[in-house]
Structure 1
Amino acid sequence: MHPRQSLIEIFSTFAQFEAEQFSRWVTDLRLRRSMQNCLERGWQADSSENFWWLYWYKVWQSQPAPKKKDDLNKSRARSHLTAYLQEACYWAAQKAIANFSKTQYTLPDCFQVAIAQIEKVLKGFSPDRGFNLKNYASVIFANVIRENLRQRQEIDICTPWALLRKLSQKRLVESLEAIGLTSDAIARYLLAWKCFKMLYVPSIGETSTRQLNQPDRPTWEAIASLYNKECSPSELEGTPETLEQWLLDCAKAARSYLYPTLTSINAPTPGQESGELQDYLPATESESLLADAIAAQEERTRLSQQTQLNEILSAALTGMDAEAQQLLQLYYGRGLKQQEIAEQLETKQYAVSRRLAKARQSLLLTLARWSQEQLHISLASDVLDNISKVLEEWLSTRYSQTNS
């Protein structure tokens, strides 16, 4: 993948794949015109990449007024940010493919799985924390792909009988509803599944629950007998062969529901000589209940992390000696300069500077370790710089609250 150079390319082109590899950058003319218009309005001076991703993020983040134009602006900003994060998504997908060598997923598959979670990236990101959007997106994309591949691999290596034993009743019902079965049919399949789980006990010799063998004939007859005993009188009696087929149908429905087949938006339109599926995607977007649930969960996660961060830094601050706490109080709480602090404590300015730096370094180390262990953030130089900014903000807020 060759990197994009100009701002217009970075915010208006998308990766296209051929033969399971990156092929070229494809330009979205609508987004290209949008960026050109912005730059032609006299914004050429703001030519940094960071300025523009932050600008479009603020547009996306703003609550739209009840006007169609505002919704279009929000949608356009989302598209610009999706274009911007193409490289981050690509490298996350490529790394995942290398780590999961046995997966049936291809590079385009992983890319599509990750980029579909762009809303999760945007909703979870907060520029106030000082982190870079690309770095944050890379972590989220990698986690999404890794979790999907792990679970998919688990599903793929399970035999139908192992999958049925692992499956919950809720998931089974959802799977059967997804293929359009009636409530009566679902009730029959559900009863057959319950009889199967009750009577089919893996033998002691089967060490792996993922590779369970098919039940033997006596077990099928026992399952059929229990099913016929439990079903309503109006139901037809189930034979061992019928119940076996029903359960295989259940396993197939569960696989399809939990991990549907991926279809690239760059795939040719069925029955057409030209055009792609993405040409027929609706322009409007709608939020789903699942998206609302994800957003609520992410908000709870952010609040929990903020609480943990405050507790950890507060404990580290309390563990410092009295002199260090006094210096931090004078510097952040009262807003004194280092020379003013030195005069008040009757010491040298360089001694105050050295002692403040040591106190900050101790807190920064605590914060960096927490970020690495809890948020799984690699401590690159730019990340450490962002963490340092977060610490400065926390100290300012902490001591301003103390003095208020």
Structure 2
Amino acid sequence: MKKREGIIEKFSTFLSFGNSSSDLNPIWQTDPNLERCIKSLVESEPDANEEFWAQYFLKVLRKASTEEDTETKANGDAVNIDGLSASTRLPFTTSSLIAGRHMSAYLQEACLWASQKAYQRFKYLRHKYPLEEYFQIANAAANPPGKLLKNFNVEYPLTNIEGYAKTAIIRLISNTIYQHDIEAKRGKFSDYGLLKDLNAKELREALLSKGINHKKLNSYCLVWRCLDKIYQPTRSQGSRSLEPPNQQHLQEIAHCYNQQINKLDFPTAPVSSEKVQSMLSTCVRAARDYRTKRFLSLEEYDNIFDPTLTPWDTLIQEEAWKQVNSIICKLFASIPETGQIMLKLWQGLSLTQTEIATILRANYPDLQKQYQVARQLSRYNQSILKDLVK
């Protein structure tokens, strides 16, 4: 892809993945109105660099957002920005909407950079999210630009808008994926990072779902509380890389647990460090299944093959699949029409979530963005799978 050169290009062009003849290679498309506007401004301040203009448009947006006279803004009266030029006070004689469009154009390369980083970070999700979908999420995160750059300090000399935006956008993309994609949630936490992130209600529900009876439930919750109290990593570690507690930690957790059962008069025996490890492992498995709601996909079922099947086994298996198909058809018919359409487009025609959003947005205003489609598909999938396992 050709890199943009010059201030005029950077403030008047947008990245497009829509050119089918370019094998999905993104191309730059020019907005003629923005091009005319930035040309005029550059002529009035020829020595200014791109950071000058980025900060200029950001200050225009900030001034417009605090302006009390909304009619003045709408009519596009001059807005004077102090401190941007040693020689002039440059008037901006068009609306703040145009300033926002210029900033959106400028942030396109930051969006692309963040999209590429997210594409690498979530490489295990490439079957769901092509690069253009990450770019769409990035664009949604970057707009309106004034909101994205709300906390950017224009007075701090060691930062620039593009660098700040890259960091903010990659964080927002990651948050969006973690929030709406079950498979991403599964990979977000290390085992003990997950336990440290869990709350007591979630743990109890997770353990109950794994068949831990009420008599044992309090013991597992107590060992988890002792872990939270004892295991405090001495150095900063992210939830994805949190190491398991060492032997000394386990011994301290066991000691804490044994002290607590004596104080609380629990009807249970003292535990060793080995027993603590076993109980925590059970908590991890329960918590991970609870958080991610993992089920074996239909594709994985298709790949299961037993070469020792007898004709009788085959007949039983076929009958079982007929029953499963019948149940799935009934469940499919029970979900709303919107859900049926989305599942047909997704599973039947293998369309991406971005393509689904493009098709549905005209008739379904709440399905304008890829992440909205992803959220609805996740909800319908969970509903069907939940009914299947009842």
Structure 2 length-normalised TM:
0.42
